[in-house]
Amino acid sequence: MKINIRAYHYRIVIILLLVAMPPFLVASVYSMNVFLKQTIDLVNSKNENELVRTGNFMEQTFEQIVDGVLAGMTNEPFTKMQFIVEKLQIIKSLNRAVNDNKYLDQVMLYNEDEDYLLVSNYGIISDPQNSPYNWIKSELKGMDNYQIKVTETRSLNVQGHNKYVISLLAKLPLRGQQSYLNYTVDLEKLYNDFLLRLNVDNGIYNYYLTDAAGRVVFHKDRELLGTYLPQSPTALKLKDQPVISSYPLKTMGWNLVSEVNIHRLSSDVYKARNQMIMFLTLITLVIVVMTILGARQLYKPVRHLRLRLHDSEQLLKRTLVYNLIKERFTESADIERYLDDYHRDLVVVILTIHSQTDMTTKDSSLTNEIEKSLGVKFEIDLFVESDKQYVLLLKLDHDDMNRFITDMLASFNDQILQNLTLSIGGIYPLKKINNSYIEALYAFNVGRIYSTDTNIYCYSKLPVDYQQKQMKDPTIDELELAIRQHNEKAYTDLINTMLSENRSVMEYNYNLYMNISLLIKLYDQESVKFLSEINELITDKGIMNAAAVKHFFISKFNNFNADYQQDFNKYVQKVEQYIAECYPNNFSMDDVAEHVGLTRQYISQLFKKHYNTTLIDYLSQYRIEQAKLLLADTKMKINDVGSKVGFNSKSYFTKVFKLHTGITPTEYRELAWNRNKEAESESLIPLNGDG
């Protein structure tokens, strides 16, 4: 991918300039917010001072009123009212009390025993129940001597005008007759003198009185009298919640409350700030769009590299999995590094397209349909063996074969199933997945012998004993007896008879299948190796090649006790040690044979049986594994890496490396280094959440 370096640098400079602009705008908004905060703090301080000053004046006024009430409570004539002259004198005293305090509307004395009122500036009311003061008796219930009680706000209609007052009730000590004093305070006058001048702007300031429970005692909006705070209707009517402060008026048990709408008070500053924020938002959006467009251009090389790394990793994964399925190797650091999501139950299915199916134009569409159908319930890897055969690796979340078969068949429609043969191996972990492949291949090769009415063969479902009437003598029991007694002549005669060319196809298939089933049972733990040899025989010679099949069975009899039970560890360790020491150098199989003390033919057989590969392939794989370590952990040149692990030329090293991994050495290094960086980044993240 060619990149214009100069244009690339210009784009970086432009993006950096764009990115540098928002901090200046943010700084401007921050400065305005600081100014706004300082303004609000100044206003709050002023309002707080005003609240305290007004509260002090009101508290002094209430103290004067209460002092008057206390003086009346100790006035002895108020407790002795026997003659009319005394009552008139008391009325005069009440009038003086009203005249002494401008906020007192009336002062009255109530005689509970004789049920009459002495009212200042009025006279005697002999029947309070039929007067505007009929409430007084209910308010006096339960009061103690010298107790002062503050009543709720009441409305008095005076000459068509509602006047709002509260009363301070005092119970006098009993001296012949029970009496009470009632000092009526004019709230309108209090409001006009103390609060009216503060409520200069209905939208900004609001001062009012509440009792200890938060109920409104007096408010400029008379409809709010008796309502409770903090759910003040005034606050709810405002678009912006006001700042609420209060000052305690201890004498009355009230609070002087102030509500200040800071938002309206600083509306011009808020407006300018909001305009700045809108402008900043607009500029930021423009910058973000331009940055995204520019970043996409800048990110192209990175994105290209990421895509290449992803493709390389996927190709490497597929190559590793395919090599494990075919058991080309079992030990590699890449298995742990790249195939960690495969460590669970896996199964191999060999999918064969019927030869009569016309696949000239529909090959890719049928493959896509198969992947789409299975992809609903399974994670799959599909490998193409030929135009007519695919190997599928399916990840399962369970080890129930019956459930798997049911789910797999349910994934296909009838039309697809008619064109396919499904051969299913066992369920294994990743490192033993070759066993599943061998079993699936055996199911494909041999399953049709005993059942011709189905196109689904599962290794675990193949019967060990063929449930069909014995065709002709000899029986399979005789064959097993000959093997266990090591009677070679009897075994050879039985094999020649059972697989005679004179047998019908049905008899031949039956006897062949029963021979294979018997040997699988006898080989026990080595059955996978035996199955692999059976598959190789059928692939190379054909199942109906009676001479080759008989020769195979007789050779199995001759070395049955030694074939899979001989201990090759001594020789294997010597060969492995020699390769580990000499792999950087050139050497031949004759050199290995001389070092180990065996013939080269025997070493070839040893590797074929022990590793299921040739010595050359084993050496190449070992060199590739060493090269992987150097590519991932060093900065050594590719050519030097190839030379260090024993390859004479870079081109040959690249060819062999790609053959074994699916990707080139350069792609592998990029992939490994990227993985190392990700691992280092994850290791730097604190586990306890601390910074």
Sequence-ordered list of residues with C-beta below 8 angstroms from that of 306, at least 6 positions apart, any chain:
none
Q: What would the two tokens of residue 387 be?
A: 């135009």
Cα 373 to Cα 138, 369, 388, distances in angstroms:
87, 6, 18
CATH 3.30.70.270 residue ranges for the chain: 343-451
Query: What's CA 468's distance to the chain center, in Å?
Result: 58
Provide the strand spans (E) within 358-406: 379-384, 389-395
pLDDT band at residue 31 using 50, 70 and 90 as cut-offs:
confident
| Pairwise pLDDT comparison (6 vs 312), residue with the higher score | 312
Cβ count within 10 A of residue 533: 16
| Mean pLDDT, residues 117-131 | 86
Helix (H, G, I), strand (E, B) or coil at 251: coil
pLDDT band at residue 676 using 50, 70 and 90 as cut-offs:
confident
CATH 3.30.450.20 residue ranges for the chain: 74-192
* Distance from C-alpha of 166 to C-alpha of 251, rounded to nearest angstrom: 14
pLDDT of residue 565: 43
Instruction: State the CATH class of domain 567-683.
Output: mainly alpha
Query: What tens digit of pLDDT does each residue of 363-385 get?
Result: 567 778 888 888 888 888 988 88
| pLDDT score of 346 more than 90 | yes
| Mean pLDDT, residues 111-137 | 85
pLDDT of residue 249: 92
Q: Among 417, 453, 444, which residue's Cα sits nearest to residue 408?
A: 417
Query: What tens digit of pLDDT does each residue of 528-563 get?
Result: 777 778 788 887 777 777 788 888 887 777 665 444
Query: What tens digit of pLDDT does each residue of 610-642 get?
Result: 777 788 888 888 899 899 989 988 889 999 999
Q: What is the DSSP letter of 340?
A: G
| Mean pLDDT, residues 386-393 | 87
pLDDT of residue 256: 92
Q: What would the two tokens of residue 414 be?
A: 């009838």
Query: What tens digit of pLDDT does each residue of 324-338 get?
Result: 888 777 677 778 778
Q: Is residue 387 within 8 Å of residue 363, measured between CB atoms?
A: yes
CATH 1.10.10.60 residue ranges for the chain: 567-683
pLDDT band at residue 473 using 50, 70 and 90 as cut-offs:
low
| Mean pLDDT, residues 101-119 | 86
| pLDDT score of 681 more than 70 | no
Tell which CATH architecture fits domain 74-192.
Answer: 2-Layer Sandwich (3.30)
pLDDT band at residue 360 using 50, 70 and 90 as cut-offs:
very low
| pLDDT score of 347 more than 90 | yes
pLDDT of residue 641: 92
Q: What is the DSSP letter of 173?
A: P
Query: What tens digit of pLDDT does each residue of 51-99 get?
Result: 899 999 999 999 988 888 888 777 766 666 555 667 777 778 888 888 8
DSSP secondary structure letters along 197-239: TT---TTTEEEEEEETTSBEEE-SSGGGTT-BSSS-HHHHHSS
pLDDT band at residue 234 using 50, 70 and 90 as cut-offs:
very low
H helical segments located in 228-386? 233-237, 262-265, 267-325, 333-338, 363-375
| Mean pLDDT, residues 144-167 | 84
pLDDT of residue 615: 83
Instruction: Judge if the upstream peptide bond of residue 474 is cis by omega within 30 degrees of 0.
Output: yes
Predicted TM-score (pTM) of this structure: 0.53
Q: Homologous superfamily of 343-451 in CATH?
A: Reverse transcriptase/Diguanylate cyclase domain (3.30.70.270)
H or E, element range at 349: strand 346-353
pLDDT of residue 469: 46
pLDDT of residue 301: 67
